[in-house]
Amino acid sequence: MAFSDMINKFFGKDQVANSKDVAKERLRLVLVHDRANALPEDVLLALREEMIKVITKYMDIDEGALDVGLTKSDTEIALVANIPVVRIKRNVG
């Protein structure tokens, strides 16, 4: 054990994260959940419309079957989109 570790131990500081870093990380996660839950319906609709615009530049998709939504787990929130491709355009870009 290095001398500085001993000093740290003496002052009650070992290798665990500072509690403020724990607070920040917990807050980050809880706010992602809170804001996702408070997200107005039209935000997801607008996102969906813009995604369709971008994707159809490159491929034909089945817009009716397109599914966009937020999937939540304890540790993260993911934006998940299932976009059935009908045909990929030739010679794009």
Interface contacts to other proteins, rule CB under 8 A: 3-4, 7-8, 11, 13, 18-21, 23-24, 26-28, 30-31, 34-35, 38
Q: Which is nearer to other proteins, 7 or 86 (CB)?
A: 7
Q: Which is nearer to other proteins, 37 or 56 (CB)?
A: 37
CB 86 within 8 A of CB 68: no
Q: Which is nearer to other proteins, 13 or 89 (CB)?
A: 13
Residue with tokens 């615009």: 53
Residues in contact with 83: Cβ distance below 8 Å, sequence separation at least 6, in sequence order: 51, 55, 61, 62, 66, 67
